[in-house]
Amino acid sequence: MNSITTETSKKSSKTQIGFTLWFTGLSGAGKSTIADILEKRFKTQGLKIEILDGDVVRTHLSKGLGFSKEDRDANIRRIGYVASLLSRNGVIAVTAAISPYREIRNEVRNLHENFVEVYAKCPLEVAEKRDVKGLYKKARAGELPQFTGISDPYEEPLNPEIIVETDKQSPEESADKILKWLKENGFIGV
Protein backbone atom coordinates (compact mmCIF):
# COMPACT_ATOMS: atom_id res chain seq x y z
CA MET A 1 0.00 0.00 0.00
CA ASN A 2 1.45 3.38 -0.93
CA SER A 3 1.57 6.33 1.44
CA ILE A 4 -1.36 8.12 -0.25
CA THR A 5 -3.60 5.07 0.17
CA THR A 6 -2.49 4.65 3.78
CA GLU A 7 -3.22 8.32 4.52
CA THR A 8 -6.63 8.09 2.83
CA SER A 9 -7.48 5.01 4.89
CA LYS A 10 -6.59 6.82 8.11
CA LYS A 11 -8.77 9.80 7.18
CA SER A 12 -11.76 7.68 6.17
CA SER A 13 -11.65 5.75 9.44
CA LYS A 14 -12.08 9.06 11.27
CA THR A 15 -14.96 10.29 9.11
CA GLN A 16 -17.56 11.99 11.24
CA ILE A 17 -21.14 10.81 10.94
CA GLY A 18 -23.53 13.68 10.45
CA PHE A 19 -26.70 13.50 12.49
CA THR A 20 -29.32 15.71 14.05
CA LEU A 21 -29.74 15.74 17.80
CA TRP A 22 -33.23 17.20 18.16
CA PHE A 23 -34.05 18.48 21.64
CA THR A 24 -37.69 19.03 22.50
CA GLY A 25 -39.26 20.10 25.78
CA LEU A 26 -40.89 22.96 27.60
CA SER A 27 -39.32 26.37 27.92
CA GLY A 28 -36.96 26.14 30.89
CA ALA A 29 -36.51 22.37 30.59
CA GLY A 30 -32.75 22.72 30.04
CA LYS A 31 -32.46 22.10 26.28
CA SER A 32 -30.03 24.96 25.56
CA THR A 33 -27.97 24.33 28.69
CA ILE A 34 -27.43 20.67 27.78
CA ALA A 35 -26.78 21.57 24.13
CA ASP A 36 -24.03 23.99 25.23
CA ILE A 37 -22.38 21.28 27.36
CA LEU A 38 -22.52 18.85 24.42
CA GLU A 39 -21.07 21.46 22.08
CA LYS A 40 -17.99 21.84 24.31
CA ARG A 41 -17.57 18.07 24.62
CA PHE A 42 -17.98 17.46 20.87
CA LYS A 43 -15.48 20.20 20.04
CA THR A 44 -12.99 18.70 22.52
CA GLN A 45 -13.22 15.51 20.44
CA GLY A 46 -12.58 17.52 17.25
CA LEU A 47 -16.11 17.00 15.94
CA LYS A 48 -17.94 19.51 13.74
CA ILE A 49 -21.08 20.78 15.44
CA GLU A 50 -23.62 23.55 14.97
CA ILE A 51 -26.29 24.49 17.47
CA LEU A 52 -29.61 25.75 16.15
CA ASP A 53 -31.12 27.40 19.21
CA GLY A 54 -34.80 28.30 18.94
CA ASP A 55 -34.37 31.89 20.16
CA VAL A 56 -31.39 32.56 17.87
CA VAL A 57 -33.11 31.03 14.83
CA ARG A 58 -36.21 33.15 15.44
CA THR A 59 -34.01 36.25 15.34
CA HIS A 60 -32.16 35.38 12.14
CA LEU A 61 -33.99 32.75 10.12
CA SER A 62 -37.60 33.13 11.21
CA LYS A 63 -37.82 36.87 11.85
CA GLY A 64 -41.37 38.09 11.47
CA LEU A 65 -42.99 34.83 12.51
CA GLY A 66 -45.39 34.98 15.41
CA PHE A 67 -46.48 32.20 17.73
CA SER A 68 -49.58 30.90 15.98
CA LYS A 69 -49.54 27.18 15.27
CA GLU A 70 -48.82 27.90 11.59
CA ASP A 71 -45.90 30.19 12.44
CA ARG A 72 -44.48 27.73 14.97
CA ASP A 73 -44.73 24.96 12.39
CA ALA A 74 -42.95 27.13 9.81
CA ASN A 75 -40.19 27.89 12.32
CA ILE A 76 -39.66 24.20 13.14
CA ARG A 77 -39.68 23.27 9.45
CA ARG A 78 -36.95 25.86 8.81
CA ILE A 79 -34.85 24.60 11.70
CA GLY A 80 -35.38 21.03 10.51
CA TYR A 81 -34.37 21.85 6.95
CA VAL A 82 -31.16 23.61 8.01
CA ALA A 83 -30.37 20.74 10.40
CA SER A 84 -30.86 18.21 7.59
CA LEU A 85 -28.46 20.15 5.33
CA LEU A 86 -25.83 20.24 8.06
CA SER A 87 -26.19 16.59 9.06
CA ARG A 88 -26.07 15.23 5.53
CA ASN A 89 -22.77 17.10 5.14
CA GLY A 90 -21.14 15.42 8.12
CA VAL A 91 -21.97 17.96 10.82
CA ILE A 92 -23.65 17.26 14.13
CA ALA A 93 -26.68 19.54 14.10
CA VAL A 94 -28.06 20.14 17.58
CA THR A 95 -31.43 21.83 17.81
CA ALA A 96 -32.76 23.37 20.99
CA ALA A 97 -36.29 24.53 20.25
CA ILE A 98 -39.47 23.74 22.13
CA SER A 99 -41.03 22.16 18.99
CA PRO A 100 -44.30 21.50 20.79
CA TYR A 101 -46.20 19.59 18.12
CA ARG A 102 -45.63 15.90 17.46
CA GLU A 103 -46.78 15.98 13.83
CA ILE A 104 -44.16 18.58 12.82
CA ARG A 105 -41.40 16.82 14.77
CA ASN A 106 -42.24 13.64 12.85
CA GLU A 107 -42.28 15.56 9.57
CA VAL A 108 -38.82 16.94 10.35
CA ARG A 109 -37.60 13.46 11.37
CA ASN A 110 -38.49 12.24 7.89
CA LEU A 111 -36.10 14.80 6.32
CA HIS A 112 -33.13 13.17 8.05
CA GLU A 113 -31.12 10.03 7.54
CA ASN A 114 -29.78 10.19 11.12
CA PHE A 115 -32.22 11.76 13.58
CA VAL A 116 -32.03 11.43 17.35
CA GLU A 117 -34.90 12.92 19.34
CA VAL A 118 -34.03 13.94 22.89
CA TYR A 119 -36.93 14.70 25.19
CA ALA A 120 -35.89 17.11 27.92
CA LYS A 121 -38.62 16.01 30.29
CA CYS A 122 -39.42 18.49 33.02
CA PRO A 123 -42.62 19.09 34.99
CA LEU A 124 -44.28 22.42 34.23
CA GLU A 125 -43.94 23.63 37.83
CA VAL A 126 -40.16 23.06 37.75
CA ALA A 127 -39.80 24.79 34.37
CA GLU A 128 -41.77 27.75 35.76
CA LYS A 129 -39.43 28.02 38.77
CA ARG A 130 -36.42 28.12 36.43
CA ASP A 131 -37.97 30.85 34.27
CA VAL A 132 -35.13 33.40 34.10
CA LYS A 133 -36.83 35.35 31.28
CA GLY A 134 -40.14 35.74 33.12
CA LEU A 135 -42.07 34.19 30.24
CA TYR A 136 -44.28 31.93 32.32
CA LYS A 137 -45.21 34.83 34.59
CA LYS A 138 -46.21 36.89 31.55
CA ALA A 139 -48.14 33.94 30.11
CA ARG A 140 -50.01 33.41 33.38
CA ALA A 141 -50.87 37.14 33.38
CA GLY A 142 -52.27 36.82 29.84
CA GLU A 143 -49.50 38.95 28.32
CA LEU A 144 -48.16 36.09 26.16
CA PRO A 145 -50.98 34.31 24.35
CA GLN A 146 -50.35 30.85 22.93
CA PHE A 147 -47.51 30.10 25.33
CA THR A 148 -46.53 26.43 25.33
CA GLY A 149 -47.53 24.63 28.50
CA ILE A 150 -49.88 27.40 29.67
CA SER A 151 -52.31 28.43 26.92
CA ASP A 152 -50.98 26.20 24.13
CA PRO A 153 -50.30 22.47 24.33
CA TYR A 154 -47.00 20.65 24.47
CA GLU A 155 -47.28 17.20 22.93
CA GLU A 156 -44.77 14.88 24.57
CA PRO A 157 -42.85 12.62 22.19
CA LEU A 158 -44.19 9.07 22.04
CA ASN A 159 -40.92 7.29 21.19
CA PRO A 160 -37.91 9.55 21.61
CA GLU A 161 -34.54 7.90 21.31
CA ILE A 162 -33.40 9.53 24.56
CA ILE A 163 -35.25 10.94 27.57
CA VAL A 164 -33.40 13.12 30.06
CA GLU A 165 -35.33 14.01 33.20
CA THR A 166 -33.96 17.43 33.87
CA ASP A 167 -35.71 17.81 37.22
CA LYS A 168 -33.86 14.70 38.49
CA GLN A 169 -30.51 14.97 36.66
CA SER A 170 -27.97 17.76 36.47
CA PRO A 171 -27.28 19.16 32.99
CA GLU A 172 -23.91 17.33 33.06
CA GLU A 173 -25.61 14.02 33.93
CA SER A 174 -28.08 14.56 31.09
CA ALA A 175 -25.21 15.29 28.68
CA ASP A 176 -23.42 12.13 29.89
CA LYS A 177 -26.54 10.04 29.24
CA ILE A 178 -26.86 11.45 25.72
CA LEU A 179 -23.17 10.87 24.93
CA LYS A 180 -23.39 7.30 26.23
CA TRP A 181 -26.38 6.60 23.96
CA LEU A 182 -24.65 8.17 20.95
CA LYS A 183 -21.53 6.04 21.53
CA GLU A 184 -23.50 2.83 22.08
CA ASN A 185 -25.43 3.44 18.86
CA GLY A 186 -22.42 4.29 16.69
CA PHE A 187 -23.04 8.00 16.16
CA ILE A 188 -19.78 9.07 17.79
CA GLY A 189 -16.53 7.26 18.52
CA VAL A 190 -15.83 5.55 21.80
| Sequence letter at residue 163 | I
Rounded Cα distance between 95 and 99, Å, is 10
**Active-site amino acid positions:** 99
